[in-house]
Amino acid sequence: MATPGRLVSRLAVVTGGGSGIGRAVCQRLASEGASVVVADLNEASANETLKSLPRDLRGQAHMATAADVASKESVKTLLTSIQARYFQPPSVCVNAAGITLDNFLLDMEEDDFDKVVQVNLKGSFLVVQAVAQALVASGATKGSLITVGSIVGKVGNIGQVNYAASKAGVEGVTRTAAKELARWLHFRFGIRCNCVLPGFISTPMTDTVPEKVISKMKALIPLGRMGEAAEVADVCAFLASDDARYITGASLEVTGGLFMG
C-alpha cells in the first residue's frame, strides 16, 4: 500500500519503465510523491507509462524519454536531459531494464549471450555509474540506487545461462557500489545501493510461457502463486525512502519463498 508523500522530495529515474516491473515501479514512486523520469528503449511504451502516473505533488511534470542502457552515450544523454529539465540529478534510480534470450547451454549462440550481458549487466553498471557521478558532482549527501537482479542470478535456471550470469553480476556491481558510495577514503557520500531479486513475477516477459510450465513454477513456490509487479515495486519504494536509511549493500528477495534455504 502506497504511503502518500513519503517520496515527495525525490526525483527518480526508472529504466525499463515502459512495461512490467519498471512500469509498476514508476507508478508506485509517483503515488508516493516522487517526480518520475520514465526511461525505456521503446519511447512509445515510456509515454504510455507516463500517461498512467498520478499528478506530481510538487507541481513538476513527470517525464518520459528513450534510453538504451547498453550505450554509454545514451545513458549520458539521459542524465544530461534530466538535469537540464529539473536542475538536479535524480536522487533515486531504479534500473529495471532487462532482456531474456533463452536457450540451453549446449545450443546458445555467443551473440545471444553477449546481448543479454550488454543490457542486463553492462547496462546496470553504466546507469549506476552515471547517476552516482552526477550525485557526487552535485554535492548530494544522500541517494538511493536500486538494481533489479533476479533470484535466477543466485540459483541458476535451466535455459538461462546468459540471464543467470548477467543477474549474478548485477549483485556484484551493486555490492561494490554500496561500499564505494557509502564511504570512500575520507569522503562520505551517503549514497545507498541495494538489489531487488524478483522470483517468478507476472509480466509481459512471462506472458508467452505455456500454462503447464506456469503451473509447475507455482508448485515450487511456498506461497503458491506468481508474484505481481506491484509487489516488487513495493520493495523498491521502501528502499528509495528514508525508511530504508540504514540499508545498503543488501539483496532483497521477492520470491514468495522460492528456493529459500
Spatial distance between the Cα atoms of 48 and 247, rounded to a whole number of angstroms: 33
Q: 34 near 63, Cβ under 8 Å?
A: no
Residue 14's region, left for phi above 0, alpha for psi from -120 to 50, else beta, is beta
Among 200, 205, 216, 217, which residue's Cα sits nearest to residue 253? 200
Q: 135 near 189, Cβ under 8 Å?
A: yes
Of residues 113, 125, 163, 189, which has the active-site annotation?
Answer: 163
Write the CB contacts of 236 (distance below 8 Å, at least 6 apart in sequence). 25, 28, 29, 94, 146, 148, 196
Return the DSSP state at 119. Answer: I
Spatial distance between the Cα atoms of 138 and 43, rounded to a whole number of angstroms: 28
Spatial distance between the Cα atoms of 144 and 166, rounded to a whole number of angstroms: 22
Is 163 marked active-site?
A: yes
Residue 175's region, left for phi above 0, alpha for psi from -120 to 50, else beta, is alpha
Helix or strand holding residue 202 (H, E):
strand 201-202
Max Cα–Cα distance, the chain, nearest Å: 56
Spatial distance between the Cα atoms of 226 and 128, rounded to a whole number of angstroms: 29
Amino acid, res. 84: A
> Looking at the annotation, which residues are catalytic?
163
